[in-house]
Amino acid sequence: MSLEPTPCADLHCHSTVSDGVLSPDALARRAAERGVTIWSLTDHDELGGQSLARQTALEVGIRYLTGVEISVTWARQTVHIVGLGFDADNAVLAGGLRATRAGRAARAQRMGDKLAALGMPGAFEGALPFVGNPELISRTHFARYLVQAGYCPDIQTVFDRYLGDDGPAYDPMQWATLESAIHWIHGAGGLAVIAHPGRYRYTVLERMAFLDTFKELGGDAIEVVTGSHFPAQYSEFAQIARNYGFMASCGSDFHSPTESRHDLGSLPPLPADLKRVWEALL
């Protein structure tokens, strides 16, 4: 009989290196305190937190998998592809992520202009104190400023009114291609995972085509249990994982103790029959 405790995996969260509010080391400690035993920091388009995350995970005695969440444009919408278990020193991956980040500064200026035209001047400057990494200004930083300035009661309201994908201050970006993102992750020895598939607003046909294309391009896994899914979606995407032969991943998508719906380590386990993506990496 095995004496190993049941693993608790949380393979999706964000630090101050992208749009989270805690540092990579604070996140590692929080993950350990909350019972996570296999953890990954998956900052948006950026690997700057990886070595501190790994080092602190080692100190607090939890397993670490390298992670990143790549912004991708597919069929005119943004999708997020998580990479796990890659070599964080891979130059092609680093170059691809640098190119993906490159348009963010100009885009932030445009979002600031749009918010000014909507009667909220100074949002670009106002967002800057919330930004932990000058190469990674995101909508979340604007949202935090608009709440602080009293324009909206909370982050969700900012996205609902202004910054969501249909919102009047949204600036559509051309991110990486799906093919490139998978190629960069695989080239660095990692596995490619569709993040929060339940969040994309594709038609039924578009969603099928997206999953087919991800499969054809060698995509490995999908998030089934994520902080972005409602419980009813766990079984929906578990079935999609079975139908497509994808491995399954699990992650809170934790950004902040006060903003996130789910904390690190707080999600239910994956359905027992699904192949766990971390088992292919450890």
> At closest approach, how far in Å is the CB of 174 from ligand AMP?
12
The encoded tokens of residue 162 equal 């202004």
Nearer to ligand AMP, 32 or 137 (CB): 137
| Interaction of residue 223 with Mn ion, rule CB under 5 A | no
Report, in Å, the least distance between residue 229 CB and ligand AMP. Answer: 14
- Comparison of 77 and 189: residue with beta carbon closer to ligand AMP: 77
CA dist 10 and 105 (Å) reads 30
Task: Compute CA 212 distance to the chain's CA centroid, rounded to the nearest angstrom.
Answer: 21
Q: Work out what residue 71 binds among ligand AMP, Mn ion, none; the CB cut-off runs from 5 to 8 Å by kind.
A: ligand AMP
Residue whose Cβ sits closest to Mn ion = 80
Does 19 bind Mn ion (CB under 5 A)? Our answer is yes
CB of 270 to ligand AMP, least distance (A): 22
C-beta of 101 vs 276, nearer to ligand AMP: 101
- Our finding on whether 80 is near Mn ion (CB under 5 A) is yes
Binding mask 233-272 for Mn ion (x = CB under 5 A): --------------------x-------------------
**87 within 8 A of 188, measured Cβ to Cβ:** yes
13: partner contacted, choices ligand AMP, Mn ion, none (Cβ within 5-8 A by kind): none
Closer Cβ to Mn ion, 207 or 242, answer by number? 207
Q: What is the CA radius of gyration of the chain?
A: 18
Tokens (6 digits) for 92: 């092609």
Which range touches Mn ion (CB under 5 A), out of 47-55, 57-65, 76-84, 234-242? 76-84
Kindly tell me the burial class for residue 250, based on how many C-beta atoms sit within 10 Å of its own C-beta (0-12, 13-18, 19 or more). buried
Residues at the contact surface with ligand AMP, assessed by CB under 6 A: 19, 44, 71, 138-140, 155-156, 159, 164, 255
- Least separation in angstroms between CB 164 and ligand AMP: 5
What element of type H or E holds 236?
Answer: helix 231-244
Shortest Å, Cβ 44 to Mn ion: 6
Chain residues that interact with Mn ion, rule: CB under 5 A: 19, 69, 80, 195, 253
